[in-house]
A and B are shown apart, each in its own frame.
Chain A
Amino acid sequence: MSAVALVPGANTAIPGDGTIGVAIGWAPAAPAGMEIDASAFMIGADGTVLSDEHFVFYGAAQGPGGTVRFLPTLSTGVPGDIQGFEIDLPAVPPTVQSIDICLTIHEGQTRGQKFSSLSGVVARVMAAGTEVARFDLSTGGMSETAITLMKVYRRNDAWKVRAVGQGFAGGLAPLARQYGVDIAEDEAASAPPQPAPPPPAPEPAPSSVNLSKVTLEKRGQSVSLDKKAGAAGYGEIIFNLNWNEQPQQQSAQPSRGLFGGLGNLGGGRNRGIDLDLGCLWDLRDGDKGAVQALGESWGRYDGPPFIRHAGDDRTGALAQGETIRINGDRITAISRILVYAFIYEGAPNWAAADGIATVRVPGQPDIEVRLDNPRSGFGMCAIALIENIGGTLRVTKEERYFRGHRDMDEAYGWGLRWTAGSKD
Chain B
Amino acid sequence: MAVSLSKGGNVSLSKEAPGLTAVNVGLGWDPRVTDGSAFDLDASAFLLNEGGKVRADTDFIFYNNLKSTDGSVEHLGDNTTGVGEGDDEVVSIDLSRVPADVNKIAFTVTIHEPEARKQNFGQVANAFIRVVNKADNKEIARYDLSEDYSTETALIFGEIYRHGSEWKFKAVGQGFAGGLGPLAKNYGVNIG
A residues at B contact (CB < 8 Å): 7-11, 143-144, 147-148, 155, 160, 162-164, 166-170, 178
Rounded to whole angstroms, the CA-CA distance of A166 and B34 in the bound complex is: 6
Give the Cβ gap from A169 to chain B, nearest Cβ, in Å.
5
Give the Cβ gap from A355 to chain B, nearest Cβ, in Å.
38
Complex interface: chain B residues within 8 A of A8 (CB): 118, 120, 122-123
Rounded to whole angstroms, the CA-CA distance of A244 and B151 in the bound complex is: 54
Q: Is the interface of B mostly helix, strand, loop or mixed?
A: loop
B35: contacting residue among A144, A155, A163, CB under 8 A: A144
Complex interface: chain B residues within 8 A of A170 (CB): 35
Rounded to whole angstroms, the CA-CA distance of A371 and B43 in the bound complex is: 60
> What are the 7 closest A-B residue pairs judged by CB atoms, nearest first?
A9-B122, A166-B34, A9-B120, A9-B123, A168-B35, A169-B35, A10-B151
Give the Cβ gap from A33 to chain B, nearest Cβ, in Å.
23
Restricting to B1-44, which residues have a CB under 8 Å from any CB of A?
32-36
Q: Is the CB of B33 within 8 A of A9?
A: no
- B: number of interface residues (CB 8 Å): 15
Give the Cβ gap from A280 to chain B, nearest Cβ, in Å.
51
A166: contacting residue among B36, B147, B150, CB under 8 A: B36
Q: Is the CB of A9 within 8 A of B150?
A: yes
Does B157 make an interface contact (CB < 8 A)? no
Restricting to B122-167, which residues have a CB under 8 Å from any CB of A?
122-123, 146-147, 150-151
Complex interface: chain B residues within 8 A of A167 (CB): 34-35
Q: Is the CB of A178 within 8 A of B150?
A: no
Q: Is the CB of B35 within 8 A of A11?
A: no
Give the Cβ gap from B36 to chain A, nearest Cβ, in Å.
6
Does B121 make an interface contact (CB < 8 A)? yes
B34: contacting residue among A9, A162, A178, CB under 8 A: A178
Complex interface: chain B residues within 8 A of A143 (CB): 35
Q: Is the CB of A10 within 8 A of B34?
A: no
Rounded to whole angstroms, the CA-CA distance of A155 and B146 in the bound complex is: 10
Query: 6 A-B pairs, CB-CB below 8 angstroms?
Result: A8-B122, A11-B150, A148-B34, A155-B147, A167-B35, A170-B35
Q: Is the CB of B35 within 8 A of A10?
A: no
Rounded to whole angstroms, the CA-CA distance of A10 and B150 in the bound complex is: 5
- Specify which of B34, B123, B147 lies most central, judged by the most chain A CB atoms within 10 Å of its CB: B34
A11-B147, A166-B35 known, 20 other contacts, Cβ within 8 Å: A8-B120, A8-B122, A9-B119, A143-B35, A144-B35, A147-B34, A148-B34, A155-B146, A155-B147, A160-B147, A163-B122, A164-B123, A166-B32, A166-B34, A166-B36, A166-B123, A167-B35, A168-B34, A170-B35, A178-B33
Rounded to whole angstroms, the CA-CA distance of A167 and B36 in the bound complex is: 8
Rounded to whole angstroms, the CA-CA distance of A8 and B122 in the bound complex is: 7
Give the Cβ gap from A249 to chain B, nearest Cβ, in Å.
47
Rounded to whole angstroms, the CA-CA distance of A11 and B149 in the bound complex is: 9
Complex interface: chain A residues within 8 A of B32 (CB): 166
Closest to A162 in B: B122
Q: Is the CB of A7 within 8 A of B34?
A: no
Give the Cβ gap from B109 to chain A, nearest Cβ, in Å.
15
Give the Cβ gap from A177 to chain B, nearest Cβ, in Å.
10
Complex interface: chain B residues within 8 A of A11 (CB): 122, 147, 150
Rounded to whole angstroms, the CA-CA distance of A407 and B166 in the bound complex is: 98
Rounded to whole angstroms, the CA-CA distance of A7 and B146 in the bound complex is: 18
Complex interface: chain A residues within 8 A of B122 (CB): 8-11, 162-163
Give the Cβ gap from B121 to chain A, nearest Cβ, in Å.
7
Closest to A174 in B: B35
- Specify which of B119, B120, B122 lies most central, judged by the most chain A CB atoms within 10 Å of its CB: B122
Q: Is the CB of A9 within 8 A of B121?
A: yes
Complex interface: chain B residues within 8 A of A155 (CB): 146-147
Give the Cβ gap from A157 to chain B, nearest Cβ, in Å.
13
Rounded to whole angstroms, the CA-CA distance of A148 and B33 in the bound complex is: 12
Complex interface: chain A residues within 8 A of B118 (CB): 8
Closest to A168 in B: B35
Rounded to whole angstroms, the CA-CA distance of A155 and B151 in the bound complex is: 17
Rounded to whole angstroms, the CA-CA distance of A78 and B133 in the bound complex is: 58
Closest to B125 in A: A47
Closest to B147 in A: A155
Mark B38-76 against chain A: 1 for CB-CB distance below 8 A, else 0: 000000000000000000000000000000000000000
Complex interface: chain A residues within 8 A of B151 (CB): 7, 9-10
Give the Cβ gap from B103 to chain A, nearest Cβ, in Å.
33
Rounded to whole angstroms, the CA-CA distance of A417 and B32 in the bound complex is: 70
Rounded to whole angstroms, the CA-CA distance of A237 and B164 in the bound complex is: 92
Complex interface: chain A residues within 8 A of B33 (CB): 178
- Specify which of B35, B118, B119 lies most central, judged by the most chain A CB atoms within 10 Å of its CB: B35
- Specify which of A9, A144, A162 lies most central, judged by the most chain B CB atoms within 10 Å of its CB: A9
Rounded to whole angstroms, the CA-CA distance of A169 and B151 in the bound complex is: 24
Rounded to whole angstroms, the CA-CA distance of A178 and B30 in the bound complex is: 13
Closest to B123 in A: A9
Complex interface: chain B residues within 8 A of A178 (CB): 33-34
Complex interface: chain B residues within 8 A of A10 (CB): 120, 122, 150-151
Rounded to whole angstroms, the CA-CA distance of A148 and B123 in the bound complex is: 12
- Specify which of A7, A166, A168 lies most central, judged by the most chain B CB atoms within 10 Å of its CB: A166
Complex interface: chain B residues within 8 A of A9 (CB): 119-123, 150-151
Give the Cβ gap from A17 to chain B, nearest Cβ, in Å.
18
Closest to A164 in B: B123
Complex interface: chain A residues within 8 A of B121 (CB): 9
Give the Cβ gap from B132 to chain A, nearest Cβ, in Å.
24
Rounded to whole angstroms, the CA-CA distance of A207 and B22 in the bound complex is: 73
